[in-house]
Amino acid sequence: MLRLLFPYLLFGTLGLIVLFDNVGSRDGEAGSGGIREVVSRDLVCQMDVGDRITAEYAGRRYHFCTENCRELFLAAPGDYLSENCLVCLADQGIRKQVSSENPAYTWQDTTYHFCLEDHRAAFAADPAGYFIHSMWGIPDWLYGSSIAVVLILSFGLFEWIARSRRNKPPSAARIDLLSPSWIGSLVRWAPFRFLCQLIFVLLFALIIVAGLFGNQLAALNIAPLMTWTIWWGGLVVLIMFFGKAWCYVCPWDAVAGWVERLRFWGKGKEGLGLGLSWPKPLRNIFLATAFFVGLTWLELGFGITMNPQATAMLGLGMLSLTLLAVLVFERRAFCRYGCLVGRVSGLYALFSATEVRAREPELCHSCATQDCYKGNEKGFGCPTNLFPGTLKQNTYCINCMECVKTCPSDNMTVRARPWGADLVEKGRPRRDEAYLALLMLAITGFHGLTMTKIWKDMLGFFEESLQLAYIPAFSFGMFLLLAGPILIYAILVKGTVILGRNPQVSYDRAFIAFAYSLLPIALFYHLAHNLEHMLMEGQKVIPLLSNPLGYLPGESWSFLGAAGIGPWNLFGTAEWVIAPLVSLPSLWIMQVILVLVGHVFALWVADCSARNLYPAKGAAFRSQIPMLIGMVLFSIFSLWLLKQPMEMRSSAM
C-alpha cells in the first residue's frame, strides 16, 4: 500500500514546500504571502522576484532571487545601479531620472534610455531579448551531498534492499477508480468525452488565434507560454499520475474525429475515412521518434518556443497530420505509430500511477463477442487495434474509454496502481521503443544543456573551428550530444553481457531490455527541469488570460468584427505582476528530490530486468554492475545540469 500511496506523498511533500516557501520571506522579515506579493527585478540576474530576500542601500530596499545575487550587489552596488544602453552596453553616465534627452522606451512599466534612436528601435522590436538572465543552479554543498546520496543508494543501502526482496513479486496493490457507480456512468455517458475535448479544442483555438494574429513578442502573447510551459511542462506531471489521459482530451484527435465521423459523439453511419491499412514498413514507432527529434531540432535550433506564429503553425501542422491520417487510414493508426506526443507519453506511461485493465482477465479469455476490440452499438472498437482484455502495458492505449463503454460484462475499468508497474512486468521489449527511450534520456539532457553558457561556448567553437554557420553548427552539436549517451549505453551493455555469462542472452536482447531502466532517470530529470519553468514562469498565464493577444496601450486592433484601441483586460488581471511561485533555494531542494527518486526507481527497474534476463542469482547481480555505473553517471550528469546557471530571456515566457 505504501508503494501505491508514494506518488501522492511525494507530490504532497513538494506542494508543502511551495506552500511554506510562500509564508514569510527568506530574510526573516514578514512577507506578504500568497501569489500577489511585491514583485521586483533582481538587478544582478534580471529575474522577476518576490520580497523574500532583500538588501538596503542608500535608503532604498532591493530584492534578489538568492543570497548569491544579494552578496554580489552589496559588494559593488554601483555596478548594478548605473544605467547602460541595453543595445550597445555603453554607460549613459547619468541616471534615467535626468536623461530625458536620450531616446527612451517603456516596457513592463520601466523606462529605458538609449544612445541612439536606432538603438531604441532595435530594443522596441524585441525587448525580452535584451534581458538574458542567469538562473542560479543548485549550490556546491547540495550538489556534493546529492552525489553522495546517489552513491550510497547505488552501492550500499539500495542493493541490500534489492537482495532482501529478490524473490518477492512486485506489489499487486490496485484500486478500482470506476467502482463508484456514478463515476462509471459518467465515463460511459457518450457526450462526456465530447465536453472534455471541447474545453481543450477551445484552448487550442485560442493558442492558434493568439499565435497568428497577436503581438509577436513572446512575453506578451499567451501562445508560447500556454504551449511550452503550461502544456508541455504539465504533460509530464499528467502522465505520471494519469498515464495517457492527454489522448482522451487531445484537441487534434477531437477535431479529426469529429470531421471523419461527421458527429460529435456516439456511433453513426460510416464516416469519411478511407480505412486503408497502415503501411507495414511503418508499423513501428521510428516515424514518431523522427518527429520527436525533429521537434527538438526546431524548438532549440530555431527558437520556436519564443515565436508565437511558429508555435501556432506547429499546432496546425499537427492537426493537419492527424486529420490526414484519420481520413486515409483505419482507426487511429497515426496515434499508435506516428504521433510524437503519444509515443513519448506512451513510454513514460509505463511508469504511470493508473492503468486501463480488465477486472477479471479470465472472463475476457472466454468472451465470444470481443466487443472491446470490434465495437458495438455502445461504442467503437479499440482505435489502436489492441485487445483490451489482455492488455498488460500502457504504451499504446490512448485512454479513450471505448472498451469501458462496449464491454458487455462491465469488466473493463481504470485502476490506480504503484509507480513503474509496467516496467517490472515480463512484457515484450521492442527495439524501436528501446531507441526512443535512449533518445528521451539524451534529449532531456540536451535540452537542459542548451540553456547554459557551456552550450553557447561549444557552438562558438564549432562555428569558428569548423567554419560552420549557426544551424549546421547546432545540428552537428545536437548529433554529438544525442549520440554520446547512446554510445555510452552500448558500451555498458557489452559489459553486462560479458559479466552475465549466459550464451542464451544475446547483446541485442540485453540492449533492448535494459534501455527501459533508463526511463525513470529521463522522466524525473524532465520533471525537475520543467518544474523550474512551471513554478518560475507559469504564473504569468494569469495576466495573459486577460489580454491573450498581447495588444499594447494605444494600439488599435480588430478581430472577428470587433475593433478598438488599447489592451484587453477580459478578467481584470492584465495589469497583475505575479512573483514566481517558489524561491530558488526551495526549487533546488525539489529538483534534487526528484532526481534522487528517479535514480532509485531506475535501479529497481534494472534489478528486475536483470533477474528476467539472468535467472541465476549471481549472474543477475554481476550483470547489473555496468548498468549501475551507467545510472550513477547519468544521474550525476542530471545533478550537474541542475548545478549550471540557466541562461534565459527574462520575461520571455
Tell me: the pLDDT tens digits for 468-495?
999 999 999 999 999 999 999 999 999 9
Rounded Cα distance between 548 and 550, Å, is 5
Whether this prediction's pTM lies above 0.85 is answered by yes
Rounded Cα distance between 439 and 445, Å, is 10
Strand 354-358's sheet: what is its strand order? 175-176, 412-416, 354-358
Query: What are the CA-CA distances from residue 245 to residues 108, 230, 385 (Å)?
Result: 37, 16, 18
Which residue do the cell numbers 492584465 mark?
574
Rounded Cα distance between 586 and 602, Å, is 25
The residue out of 424, 458, 482 marking a domain boundary is: 424
In a domain, 77, yes or no: no
**Residue 404 sits in the same domain as residue 452:** no
In a domain, 135, yes or no: no
**Residue 589 sits in the same domain as residue 466:** yes
**Residue 319 sits in the same domain as residue 378:** yes
Q: Is residue 274 helix, strand or coil? A: coil
**Residue 502 sits in the same domain as residue 404:** no
Residue 175's pLDDT band (cuts 50, 70, 90):
very high
Rounded Cα distance between 631 and 518, Å, is 7
Residue-level pLDDT at 33: 36
In a domain, 47, yes or no: no
pLDDT tens digits, residue range 530-548? 998 899 888 889 999 999 9
Query: Across the chain, how many H-helices and E-strands are there?
Result: 27, 15
Domain housing 489: 141-164+443-539+583-648
The residue out of 373, 395, 424 marking a domain boundary is: 424
Residue-level pLDDT at 257: 93
Nearest Cα residue to 255 out of 291, 292, 205, 215 = 205
pLDDT tens digits, residue range 200-257? 999 999 999 999 999 888 888 999 999 999 999 999 999 999 999 999 999 999 999 9
Residue-level pLDDT at 158: 55
Residue-level pLDDT at 311: 95
C-alpha torsion sign, points 508, 510, 512, 515? negative
Is residue 76 packed enough to be buried (19+ CB in 10 Å), middle (13-18) or exposed (0-12)?
A: exposed
**Residue 198 sits in the same domain as residue 243:** yes
DSSP summary character for residue 588: H
Residue 428's pLDDT band (cuts 50, 70, 90):
confident
Number of domain units in the chain: 2
Question: Residue 545 in contact with residue 571, Cβ under 8 Å?
Answer: yes
15-29, 95-109, 202-216, 307-321: which has the minimum mean pLDDT? 95-109
DSSP string for residues in 285-351: SHHHHHHHHHHHHHHHHS-GGG-HHHHHHHHHHHHHHHHHHHHHBSTTHHHHHT-HHHHHHHHHGGG
Q: How many CB atoms lie within 10 A of CB 531?
A: 21
Reply yes or no on whether the pLDDT at 555 is more than 70: no
In a domain, 40, yes or no: no
Residue-level pLDDT at 631: 93
- Grid cell, residue 372, equals 472491446
Residue-level pLDDT at 120: 82
In a domain, 494, yes or no: yes
Residue-level pLDDT at 567: 74
**Residue 156 sits in the same domain as residue 248:** no
In a domain, 474, yes or no: yes
Ranges assigned E (strand) in 330-404: 354-358, 375-376, 379-380
Question: Residue 547 in contact with residue 570, Cβ under 8 Å?
Answer: yes
Please list, in sequence order, all residues whose beta carbon lies within 8 angstroms of the beta carbon of residue 76, skipping any fewer than 6 positions away.
none
DSSP string for residues in 224-270: HIIIIIIIHHHHHHHHHHHTTHHHHH-HHHHHHHHHHHTSSSS--S-
pLDDT tens digits, residue range 249-280? 999 999 999 999 989 988 877 778 898 999 99
Reply yes or no on whether the pLDDT at 653 is more than 60: no
The residue out of 371, 390, 424 marking a domain boundary is: 424
pLDDT tens digits, residue range 119-147? 888 877 777 666 666 778 899 999 999 99
Residue-level pLDDT at 556: 64
Q: SS3 letters for 171-211?
A: CCCCEECCCCHHHHHHHHCHHHHHHHHHHHHHHHHHHHHHH
**Residue 218 sits in the same domain as residue 358:** yes
Query: Averaged over 300-306, what is the pLDDT?
Result: 89
Residue-level pLDDT at 39: 65
CA R_g for the chain: 27
Output the average pLDDT for the chain.
86
**Residue 190 sits in the same domain as residue 241:** yes
Report the interhelical angle of 617-643 vs 519-537 (nearest 10°).
20
**Residue 459 sits in the same domain as residue 403:** no
In a domain, 431, yes or no: no
In this prediction, what percent of the chain has a pLDDT beyond 70?
88
Reply yes or no on whether the pLDDT at 162 is more than 60: no
pLDDT tens digits, residue range 388-425? 988 989 999 999 999 999 999 999 999 999 999 998 87
**Residue 410 sits in the same domain as residue 497:** no
Which residue do the cell numbers 526573516 mark?
28
**Residue 242 sits in the same domain as residue 189:** yes
Rounded Cα distance between 633 and 432, Å, is 24
pLDDT tens digits, residue range 70-125? 888 888 887 777 777 777 766 555 444 444 566 787 766 677 788 888 888 887 77
Residue-level pLDDT at 94: 41
152: alpha, beta or left, given left = phi > 0 and alpha = psi -120 to 50?
alpha
**Residue 503 sits in the same domain as residue 404:** no
Reply yes or no on whether the pLDDT at 167 is more than 60: no
Residue-level pLDDT at 67: 84
In a domain, 90, yes or no: no
